[in-house]
Protein backbone atom coordinates (compact mmCIF):
# COMPACT_ATOMS: atom_id res chain seq x y z
CA UNK A 1 0.00 0.00 0.00
CA UNK A 2 1.29 3.45 -0.84
CA UNK A 3 0.21 6.92 0.07
CA UNK A 4 1.14 10.20 -1.59
CA UNK A 5 3.14 12.77 0.33
CA UNK A 6 3.47 15.94 -1.59
CA UNK A 7 4.69 18.30 -2.66
CA UNK A 8 7.91 18.94 -0.74
CA UNK A 9 8.67 22.60 -1.32
CA UNK A 10 10.42 25.65 0.03
CA UNK A 11 7.02 27.14 0.82
CA UNK A 12 4.77 26.10 3.69
CA UNK A 13 3.52 22.53 3.46
CA UNK A 14 2.85 21.33 6.99
CA UNK A 15 3.60 17.74 7.80
CA UNK A 16 6.34 17.94 5.15
CA UNK A 17 8.58 15.27 3.80
CA UNK A 18 11.33 17.87 3.81
CA UNK A 19 10.80 21.58 4.41
CA UNK A 20 13.69 23.75 3.35
CA UNK A 21 14.66 27.14 4.67
CA UNK A 22 14.85 29.63 1.82
CA UNK A 23 13.57 33.05 0.79
CA UNK A 24 10.08 32.33 2.12
CA UNK A 25 8.87 31.32 5.59
CA UNK A 26 8.24 27.65 6.36
CA UNK A 27 5.59 25.98 8.53
CA UNK A 28 5.40 28.21 11.56
CA UNK A 29 9.04 29.14 11.03
CA UNK A 30 10.13 25.53 11.71
CA UNK A 31 12.59 24.65 8.96
CA UNK A 32 13.72 21.07 8.87
CA UNK A 33 16.76 21.86 6.72
CA UNK A 34 18.79 25.00 6.20
CA UNK A 35 21.53 25.63 3.68
CA UNK A 36 24.82 27.00 5.00
CA UNK A 37 27.29 26.74 2.08
CA UNK A 38 27.10 28.49 -1.28
CA UNK A 39 24.41 31.15 -1.62
CA UNK A 40 22.78 30.15 1.68
CA UNK A 41 19.42 29.63 0.05
CA UNK A 42 17.78 26.70 -1.72
CA UNK A 43 14.90 26.24 -4.16
CA UNK A 44 13.32 23.57 -6.37
CA UNK A 45 13.56 20.54 -4.03
CA UNK A 46 13.44 17.14 -5.70
CA UNK A 47 13.30 13.80 -3.87
CA UNK A 48 14.14 10.41 -5.39
CA UNK A 49 14.07 6.94 -3.85
CA UNK A 50 16.99 4.63 -4.64
CA UNK A 51 16.22 1.61 -6.85
CA UNK A 52 16.87 -0.63 -3.83
CA UNK A 53 14.22 1.35 -1.93
CA UNK A 54 16.36 1.88 1.17
CA UNK A 55 17.61 5.42 0.64
CA UNK A 56 16.25 8.81 -0.42
CA UNK A 57 18.13 11.69 -1.99
CA UNK A 58 17.03 15.31 -1.87
CA UNK A 59 18.45 17.65 -4.53
CA UNK A 60 17.97 21.41 -4.59
CA UNK A 61 19.11 24.55 -6.41
CA UNK A 62 21.77 26.63 -4.67
CA UNK A 63 20.09 30.01 -5.06
CA UNK A 64 19.11 32.96 -2.95
CA UNK A 65 17.37 35.90 -4.62
CA UNK A 66 16.24 37.96 -1.62
CA UNK A 67 18.75 40.68 -0.82
CA UNK A 68 20.94 39.80 -3.80
CA UNK A 69 21.54 41.33 -7.25
CA UNK A 70 18.45 40.06 -9.04
CA UNK A 71 17.49 37.43 -11.59
CA UNK A 72 19.68 38.54 -14.48
CA UNK A 73 22.80 38.43 -12.32
CA UNK A 74 21.76 35.01 -11.00
CA UNK A 75 21.48 33.60 -14.53
CA UNK A 76 24.92 34.92 -15.52
CA UNK A 77 26.89 34.47 -12.29
CA UNK A 78 24.88 31.97 -10.26
CA UNK A 79 26.00 28.84 -8.47
CA UNK A 80 27.71 25.96 -10.25
CA UNK A 81 26.73 23.61 -7.42
CA UNK A 82 23.71 21.60 -6.35
CA UNK A 83 22.73 20.84 -2.77
CA UNK A 84 22.31 17.21 -1.70
CA UNK A 85 20.94 15.52 1.41
CA UNK A 86 20.26 11.82 1.86
CA UNK A 87 18.15 9.88 4.32
CA UNK A 88 17.19 6.29 5.05
CA UNK A 89 13.91 7.14 6.75
CA UNK A 90 12.69 10.52 5.41
CA UNK A 91 13.06 11.91 8.93
CA UNK A 92 16.80 12.09 9.67
CA UNK A 93 18.80 13.75 6.88
CA UNK A 94 22.53 13.49 6.37
CA UNK A 95 24.90 16.42 6.47
CA UNK A 96 24.41 18.70 3.51
CA UNK A 97 26.67 18.17 0.49
CA UNK A 98 27.53 21.20 -1.64
CA UNK A 99 28.51 19.48 -4.89
CA UNK A 100 29.89 21.18 -7.97
CA UNK A 101 28.42 19.82 -11.21
CA UNK A 102 28.77 22.72 -13.69
CA UNK A 103 31.77 24.02 -15.61
CA UNK A 104 33.29 27.51 -15.40
CA UNK A 105 31.38 28.52 -18.53
CA UNK A 106 28.01 27.94 -16.82
CA UNK A 107 26.07 30.91 -15.53
CA UNK A 108 23.64 29.00 -13.31
CA UNK A 109 22.66 25.49 -12.22
CA UNK A 110 18.91 25.40 -11.70
CA UNK A 111 16.20 22.88 -10.84
CA UNK A 112 18.24 19.65 -10.57
CA UNK A 113 16.32 16.39 -10.80
CA UNK A 114 17.42 12.79 -11.30
CA UNK A 115 16.25 9.52 -12.84
CA UNK A 116 17.85 6.13 -12.30
CA UNK A 117 19.01 4.49 -15.53
CA UNK A 118 19.13 0.70 -15.22
CA UNK A 119 21.19 0.42 -18.39
CA UNK A 120 23.92 2.63 -16.94
CA UNK A 121 23.54 1.44 -13.37
CA UNK A 122 23.67 5.11 -12.39
CA UNK A 123 21.51 8.16 -11.80
CA UNK A 124 21.17 10.70 -14.59
CA UNK A 125 21.01 14.15 -12.98
CA UNK A 126 19.73 17.02 -15.14
CA UNK A 127 19.35 20.75 -14.69
CA UNK A 128 19.20 24.04 -16.62
CA UNK A 129 22.23 26.24 -17.34
CA UNK A 130 23.21 29.25 -19.37
CA UNK A 131 26.49 28.44 -21.13
CA UNK A 132 28.96 31.14 -22.15
CA UNK A 133 32.05 31.07 -24.35
CA UNK A 134 35.39 30.57 -22.62
CA UNK A 135 36.49 33.95 -23.99
CA UNK A 136 33.50 35.63 -22.28
CA UNK A 137 34.52 35.20 -18.61
CA UNK A 138 32.21 37.98 -17.46
CA UNK A 139 29.24 36.25 -19.14
CA UNK A 140 28.13 39.35 -20.99
CA UNK A 141 26.79 37.64 -24.11
CA UNK A 142 23.08 36.85 -24.47
CA UNK A 143 22.67 33.07 -24.64
CA UNK A 144 19.82 30.55 -24.54
CA UNK A 145 19.29 28.27 -21.57
CA UNK A 146 20.07 24.61 -22.17
CA UNK A 147 19.23 21.44 -20.31
CA UNK A 148 22.37 19.68 -19.05
CA UNK A 149 23.04 16.25 -17.56
CA UNK A 150 25.69 14.30 -15.67
CA UNK A 151 25.73 10.80 -14.19
CA UNK A 152 26.47 9.64 -10.66
CA UNK A 153 26.19 6.51 -8.56
CA UNK A 154 26.40 8.15 -5.14
CA UNK A 155 25.52 11.86 -5.52
CA UNK A 156 29.08 12.65 -4.46
CA UNK A 157 31.07 12.16 -7.64
CA UNK A 158 29.61 13.26 -10.97
CA UNK A 159 30.66 12.84 -14.59
CA UNK A 160 31.52 15.86 -16.69
CA UNK A 161 28.35 17.79 -17.61
CA UNK A 162 26.97 17.44 -21.13
CA UNK A 163 24.33 19.33 -23.07
CA UNK A 164 21.14 17.25 -23.01
CA UNK A 165 18.68 19.49 -24.85
CA UNK A 166 19.54 22.59 -26.85
CA UNK A 167 16.88 23.86 -29.24
CA UNK A 168 18.56 27.20 -29.88
CA UNK A 169 16.01 28.81 -27.53
CA UNK A 170 15.41 28.54 -23.79
CA UNK A 171 14.63 25.13 -22.26
CA UNK A 172 14.22 24.80 -18.49
CA UNK A 173 12.69 22.70 -15.69
CA UNK A 174 12.83 19.13 -16.96
CA UNK A 175 11.17 16.25 -15.15
CA UNK A 176 11.12 12.62 -16.33
CA UNK A 177 8.99 9.53 -15.70
CA UNK A 178 9.46 6.09 -17.20
CA UNK A 179 6.59 4.14 -18.78
CA UNK A 180 7.55 0.77 -20.25
CA UNK A 181 10.59 1.20 -22.46
CA UNK A 182 10.13 4.96 -22.87
CA UNK A 183 11.27 7.90 -20.79
CA UNK A 184 8.77 10.76 -20.94
CA UNK A 185 10.25 14.23 -20.40
CA UNK A 186 8.31 17.39 -19.58
CA UNK A 187 10.06 20.74 -19.87
CA UNK A 188 9.25 24.39 -20.42
CA UNK A 189 10.33 25.32 -23.95
CA UNK A 190 10.34 28.54 -25.93
CA UNK A 191 8.61 26.91 -28.85
CA UNK A 192 11.31 25.81 -31.27
CA UNK A 193 10.22 22.18 -31.46
CA UNK A 194 6.54 22.68 -30.67
CA UNK A 195 3.82 24.73 -32.27
CA UNK A 196 3.21 27.03 -29.30
CA UNK A 197 5.64 29.53 -27.85
CA UNK A 198 6.66 29.50 -24.20
CA UNK A 199 4.79 26.31 -23.39
CA UNK A 200 5.20 22.91 -21.79
CA UNK A 201 6.61 20.26 -24.14
CA UNK A 202 6.24 16.49 -23.66
CA UNK A 203 8.84 14.30 -25.41
CA UNK A 204 9.85 10.66 -25.18
CA UNK A 205 12.91 8.52 -25.88
CA UNK A 206 14.05 4.97 -25.20
CA UNK A 207 17.44 6.37 -24.17
CA UNK A 208 17.50 8.67 -21.16
CA UNK A 209 20.83 10.17 -22.20
CA UNK A 210 19.87 10.84 -25.84
CA UNK A 211 21.01 14.32 -26.86
CA UNK A 212 19.27 16.83 -29.12
CA UNK A 213 21.12 19.87 -30.47
CA UNK A 214 19.92 22.55 -32.90
CA UNK A 215 21.16 20.52 -35.88
CA UNK A 216 19.91 17.11 -34.75
CA UNK A 217 17.66 15.61 -37.43
CA UNK A 218 15.63 13.58 -36.81
CA UNK A 219 15.38 14.44 -33.14
CA UNK A 220 16.29 11.72 -30.66
CA UNK A 221 13.49 12.78 -28.32
CA UNK A 222 10.17 12.39 -30.13
CA UNK A 223 7.65 15.20 -29.65
CA UNK A 224 4.51 13.72 -28.04
CA UNK A 225 2.53 16.83 -27.11
CA UNK A 226 2.79 20.56 -26.51
CA UNK A 227 0.55 23.63 -26.10
CA UNK A 228 -0.67 22.58 -22.64
CA UNK A 229 -0.51 26.15 -21.38
CA UNK A 230 -1.97 27.63 -24.53
CA UNK A 231 -4.86 25.18 -24.77
CA UNK A 232 -5.72 25.75 -21.10
CA UNK A 233 -5.64 29.52 -21.53
CA UNK A 234 -3.03 29.92 -18.80
CA UNK A 235 0.04 32.05 -18.27
CA UNK A 236 3.66 30.92 -18.11
CA UNK A 237 4.02 27.39 -16.69
CA UNK A 238 7.18 26.01 -15.10
CA UNK A 239 8.42 23.47 -12.56
CA UNK A 240 6.34 20.44 -13.67
CA UNK A 241 6.28 17.32 -11.49
CA UNK A 242 4.64 14.14 -12.81
CA UNK A 243 3.37 11.10 -10.96
CA UNK A 244 0.91 8.24 -11.36
CA UNK A 245 -2.13 7.93 -9.12
CA UNK A 246 -2.10 5.22 -6.46
CA UNK A 247 -4.89 3.43 -8.28
CA UNK A 248 -2.71 3.30 -11.38
CA UNK A 249 -5.36 4.52 -13.81
CA UNK A 250 -4.35 8.18 -14.18
CA UNK A 251 -1.33 10.47 -14.45
CA UNK A 252 -1.07 13.84 -12.78
CA UNK A 253 1.32 16.64 -13.70
CA UNK A 254 1.45 19.60 -11.33
CA UNK A 255 2.64 22.76 -13.09
CA UNK A 256 3.33 26.16 -11.61
CA UNK A 257 1.58 29.13 -13.18
CA UNK A 258 4.09 31.41 -11.50
CA UNK A 259 2.31 34.64 -12.42
CA UNK A 260 -1.16 33.37 -11.53
CA UNK A 261 -2.75 30.52 -9.62
CA UNK A 262 0.46 28.65 -8.73
CA UNK A 263 0.49 24.85 -8.80
CA UNK A 264 -2.28 23.51 -11.04
CA UNK A 265 -3.04 19.80 -11.55
CA UNK A 266 -3.22 18.56 -15.14
CA UNK A 267 -4.41 14.98 -15.56
CA UNK A 268 -4.57 12.35 -18.32
CA UNK A 269 -5.05 8.60 -18.52
CA UNK A 270 -2.07 8.09 -20.82
CA UNK A 271 1.16 9.93 -21.52
CA UNK A 272 1.76 8.37 -24.94
CA UNK A 273 -1.55 9.77 -26.22
CA UNK A 274 -2.58 12.37 -23.65
CA UNK A 275 -5.98 13.98 -23.31
CA UNK A 276 -5.35 16.68 -20.73
CA UNK A 277 -7.87 18.23 -18.42
CA UNK A 278 -7.84 20.23 -15.19
CA UNK A 279 -10.26 19.01 -12.51
CA UNK A 280 -13.17 21.34 -11.87
CA UNK A 281 -12.47 21.37 -8.19
CA UNK A 282 -9.13 20.71 -6.51
CA UNK A 283 -7.51 21.69 -3.24
CA UNK A 284 -3.78 22.39 -3.15
CA UNK A 285 -1.64 23.47 -0.18
CA UNK A 286 -0.99 27.20 0.02
CA UNK A 287 1.74 28.49 -2.30
CA UNK A 288 3.47 25.23 -3.26
CA UNK A 289 6.06 25.63 -6.00
CA UNK A 290 8.32 23.29 -7.93
CA UNK A 291 8.33 20.30 -5.60
CA UNK A 292 8.01 16.52 -5.64
CA UNK A 293 5.18 14.06 -5.10
CA UNK A 294 6.63 10.79 -3.82
CA UNK A 295 4.82 7.49 -3.11
CA UNK A 296 5.59 6.19 0.39
CA UNK A 297 4.49 3.18 2.41
CA UNK A 298 2.02 3.45 5.26
CA UNK A 299 4.84 2.87 7.74
CA UNK A 300 6.91 5.65 6.16
CA UNK A 301 3.97 8.02 6.23
CA UNK A 302 3.25 7.27 9.90
CA UNK A 303 6.90 7.91 10.76
CA UNK A 304 6.90 11.25 8.93
CA UNK A 305 3.70 12.36 10.64
CA UNK A 306 5.07 11.42 14.06
CA UNK A 307 8.29 13.36 13.43
CA UNK A 308 6.61 16.44 11.96
CA UNK A 309 3.23 16.90 13.68
CA UNK A 310 0.99 19.78 12.71
Q: What is the largest CA-CA distance in the chain?
A: 55
Closest CA to 261 of 233, 292, 228: 233
- What does the DSSP assignment read for 51-89? TTSS-EEEEEEE---TTSS-HHHHHHH--SEEEEEEESS
Q: How far apart are CA 48 and CA 217, in angstroms?
A: 33
The model carries a pTM of 0.90
> With bands split at pLDDT 50, 70 and 90, how would you rate the model's confidence at 229?
very high
Q: How far apart are CA 255 and CA 11, in angstroms?
A: 15
Question: Is pLDDT of 174 > 80?
Answer: yes
* Amino acid 32: pLDDT: 79
* Amino acid 67: pLDDT: 84
Question: Is pLDDT of 12 > 80?
Answer: no
DSSP state of 161: P
> With bands split at pLDDT 50, 70 and 90, how would you rate the model's confidence at 16?
very low
What are the percentages of helix, strand and coil residues in the chain, rounded to 5?
10, 40, 55
Average pLDDT value for residue range 212-230: 95
* Amino acid 11: pLDDT: 24
pLDDT in tens, 121-153: 999 999 999 999 999 999 999 999 999 999 999
Amino acid sequence: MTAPVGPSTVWPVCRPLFDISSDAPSCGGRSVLTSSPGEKGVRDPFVIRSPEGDKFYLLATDLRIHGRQGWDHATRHGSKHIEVWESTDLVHPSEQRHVRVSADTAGMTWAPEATYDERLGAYVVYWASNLYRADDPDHEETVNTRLMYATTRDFRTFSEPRVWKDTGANSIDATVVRVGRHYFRFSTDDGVIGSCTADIVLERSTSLTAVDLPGTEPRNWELVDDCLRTDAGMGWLEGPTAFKSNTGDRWYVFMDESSGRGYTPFTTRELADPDWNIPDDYDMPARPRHGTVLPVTKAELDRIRAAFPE
